[in-house]
Every structure is written in C-alpha cells, then in structure tokens.
C-alpha cells in the first residue's frame, strides 16, 4: 500500500496534478496522504498582548495598566515560560500546550501593516503581499494543488480565502439569539454617558461575560444550544472526522474588534475559542493526531490602552497553532520588546514573523506541498517569507 501511494504521488507530480513531496522522517499525517488542516480566521483584530501576555517584559505592565495579565494576578494567566502566559480563559489550550499540542506564535502579522480591517483581511486571505493582490484565496489554491483533496468552508458567505477553482463544500450556521458583541461595543460609550443607565448596562455586560466556560444556552429540553465558534469548529470536526471527509477547512468568527470594554469582551470571546478547540478535538476523534489548526486575525492592537478600556488597530499580534500533529508546547517567534524605542511607530508591537512563513511551514511539512509550489502558486511573491520549520511532530516524538 505504501509503495502504491508513493507511486501515485510521484505520478501525480509528474503530471502536474498535485506537485506534492513526501518528506522523510515525518508522521503519516505529514505526508499529506491523510492529513487534516484547518484555518480559523478571527475577524476584527485580536489583541495579541491580551491573548499571550508578555508578563516578563519590563515594559508590559507599565504600558498596559489595567489590562495587564500575569500568572500571579487574582485571575492568573496560564504561565508558559519566564516571559509569556496565556489568557486565563484558555483553559483547554493550556492543557493542549502541556501535551505539546498548542503553540502561540508571537509578534506576527501579514505583509500589509496598515490598519484597515478590510484591506488587512483581504491580504491575509488572498495570500499575496498586498490587499487585492489576488482574486482567489491561498487556501483554495492550496486545495487545487493537492490531488484528490476536498475542502470545507464554514461561513455565512464564501470567504476570499476559499474562492477559486477548487471544488468545495460549504456549511452555513443557523441564526442564533446571541447579542452581537460589536453592537455591545458601540452601545457601551452611549450608556456610559448616562448616569442612570451606565450602571445597569455594566451589570448586564458582566452577567453575559461572567460565563467564560459556556459555549451556548440551555434549551427547553435541558440540552445546551451551541453557537459561535464551538458550533462552527464542532461542525468542521464532525465533517473532517469521517474517513471520506474534507481534509482542509476554513472557519471564521467576528466580534474581535475591541475599542472599548476589552477585558470583558475578550474573556468571553477567548472562552468561546477555547471551547471551540475542545469541541473540535472531541468531534474529529482519532484524526486529531493527524490535524493541524492555525488561528489567525488580521492585525494586533495598540500597546497602550485607550480611554474606554479598549485598544485600537495595531500591527504585531499572535497566531495560535494546535493539533495532534503539532510540535508545540513552546512559544514561537521573535519577541521585539515593548520599550518606546522598540514599538512600531511608538504605538504597536513590531511584527517579526510574516504570517505566510507559518502557513508555508505547516503546508510544506504537514500537507506535503512543495516549497516551489508554495512560492509560485499558493503564496506568489513570497520568496522572502521562508517557511517556519519544526512545526510538525516527528516520528517517534513523545505525545
């Protein structure tokens, strides 16, 4: 069987159908023969300093003030090493980290360093070095180059990342009764200006946000109604857990634009992401060991907190990698520091890792896509963004 698979892969490469490479010394998942890959896009700009607080940086607490997190706080962050921690809501992610199945990549950004949501998201999804650099998405182009691989888009509207010639399945979530967090953000300054309504509105927010472990609401039959990221990732996991299921999937979520009341909003949102990872883990079953997940957002946030307890559009942020095929349990990337001279334009974390380097490293070593194909077709013009190595668990490595 193995010899036949090698022959088919080589034949497909010669015919130009897939251009795959088999990488020696890696797991079966890493050959691309039965690997699963999931791209999760958090729309709005997740604050990397809140999700992966650099509590060991001397400038962090002074700059972040009330938003600063640490392992020694009343609600302790999950300590990763002497410098970095994970947000307190990342309980399952912390467990995965301890097993080597979760890893943050710090100070990361797409090639576009502007602060427009739409242009940044376009750049992240089209896979080039600028907004509107391509009319198709890098994930679709990747699927098109993998022989016999089908994809799944879990989104209300087909995202740019999945547009292109490859054949895809789509799944759209049902409408829920959840209040859109962006609406709450817009209402907060209005209620705060009213002496009579400010306190009741704040209490209502607290009641909603004090449910960090819940991913849904109870229904009349006593079962929990799941929505948001747990629903999306759980659905993707069930589809991908089938032997003939999609091998590549896209999942999206919004509500990560935190200009006000950031601490409460992100506690809830990151709990949803954490619950989503756990639901996906359970839904995909044994194929978790052959899965890699990358969670990205379009940019980070400003280092300094604004006057409404939030942060504004920034540059360097965080990526999250997860999966049973991951060589994790560590913090990846180069930390630039948080002194005034180290901040980009004296306001943002300076990005030191190009998103495409991470994407290319995962696709090359996990899905078996040749580096030449990544540079010419999947991420054209990305020669300078070298693939990040060492992301995939090697054969014989401890689980």
pLDDT, tens only, 134-156: 999 999 999 999 988 999 999 98
The contacts of residue 174 (CB under 8 Å, 6+ apart) are none
Rama region for 156: left / alpha / beta (φ>0; ψ in -120 to 50; rest): alpha
The answer to whether the CB of 101 falls within 8 A of the CB of 337 is: no
Give me the pLDDT at residue 29, please.
39
Share of the chain above pLDDT 70, in %: 81
The answer to whether the CB of 367 falls within 8 A of the CB of 142 is: yes
| CA–CA distance, 29 with 129 (Å, rounded to integer) | 29
Give me the pLDDT at residue 322, please.
98
Joined together, the tokens standing for residue 252 give 């999206």
Q: 133: helix, coil or strand?
A: coil
**Which pairing describes strands 317-322 and 102-109: parallel, antiparallel, or unpaired?**
antiparallel
Segment 265-315, tens digit of pLDDT:
999 999 999 999 999 999 999 999 999 999 999 999 999 999 999 999 999
What confidence tier does 397 reach under pLDDT thresholds 50, 70, 90? very low
Q: What is the mean pLDDT of residues 107-129?
A: 97
Segment 191-236, tens digit of pLDDT:
777 777 777 666 666 555 444 334 443 333 445 556 799 999 999 9
Please state the φ and ψ torsions of residue 103, each to the nearest 5 degrees. Answer: -160, 125
Segment 8-30, tens digit of pLDDT:
333 333 333 333 333 333 333 34
- The pTM of this model reads 0.82
The answer to whether the CB of 380 falls within 8 A of the CB of 141 is: no
Give me the pLDDT at residue 214, please.
41
Segment 155-182, tens digit of pLDDT:
989 999 999 999 899 998 775 555 666 6
Q: Domains in the chain, start-ordered, CATH in brackets?
A: 22-181+228-378 (3.40.720)
Question: Between the CA of residue 233 and those of 25, 103, 280, 296, what are the distances in Å?
Answer: 30, 18, 5, 14
Q: What is the dihedral of CA 316, 355, 357, 244, to 10 degrees?
A: 150
Joined together, the tokens standing for residue 363 give 């696709």
């Amino acid at each position: 069987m193995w010899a036949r698979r090698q022959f088919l892969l080589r034949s497909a490469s010669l015919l130009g159908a897939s251009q795959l490479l088999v990488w020696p010394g890696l797991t079966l998942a890493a050959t691309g023969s039965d690997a699963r890959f999931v791209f999760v896009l958090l729309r709005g700009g997740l604050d990397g300093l809140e999700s992966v607080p650099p509590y060991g940086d001397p400038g962090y607490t002074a700059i972040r003030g009330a938003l600063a997190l640490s392992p020694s706080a009343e609600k302790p962050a999950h300590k990763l090493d002497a410098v970095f921690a994970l947000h307190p809501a990342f309980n399952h992610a912390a467990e995965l980290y301890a097993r080597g199945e979760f890893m943050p990549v710090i100070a990361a950004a797409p090639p576009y360093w502007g602060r427009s949501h739409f242009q940044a998201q376009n750049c992240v999804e089209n896979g080039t070095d600028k907004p509107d650099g391509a009319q198709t998405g890098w994930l679709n182009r990747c699927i098109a180059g993998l022989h016999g691989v089908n994809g799944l888009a879990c989104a209300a509207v087909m995202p740019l990342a999945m547009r292109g010639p490859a054949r895809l399945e789509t799944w759209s979530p049902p409408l829920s009764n959840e209040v859109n967090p962006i609406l709450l953000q817009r209402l907060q300054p209005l209620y705060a200006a009213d002496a009579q309504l400010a306190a009741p509105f704040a209490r209502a927010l607290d009641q909603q946000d004090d449910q960090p472990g819940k991913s849904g609401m109870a229904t009349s039959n006593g079962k929990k109604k799941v929505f948001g990221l747990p629903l999306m990732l759980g659905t993707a996991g069930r589809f991908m857990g089938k032997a003939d299921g999609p091998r590549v999937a896209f999942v999206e979520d919004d509500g990560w634009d935190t200009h006000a009341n950031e601490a409460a909003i992100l506690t809830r949102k990151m709990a949803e992401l954490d619950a989503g990872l756990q639901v996906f883990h359970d839904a995909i079953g044994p194929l978790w060991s052959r899965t890699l997940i990358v969670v990205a957002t379009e940019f980070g946030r400003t280092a300094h907190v604004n006057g409404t307890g939030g942060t504004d559009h920034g540059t360097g942020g965080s990526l999250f990698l997860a999966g049973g095929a991951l060589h994790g349990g560590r913090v990846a990337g180069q930390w630039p520091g948080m002194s005034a001279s180290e901040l980009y334009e004296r306001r943002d974390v300076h990005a030191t890792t190009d998103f495409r380097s991470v994407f290319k490293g995962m696709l090359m070593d996990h899905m078996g896509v040749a580096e030449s194909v990544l540079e010419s077709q999947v991420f054209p013009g990305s020669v300078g963004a070298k693939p990040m190595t060492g992301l995939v668990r090697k054969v014989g490595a401890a689980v």
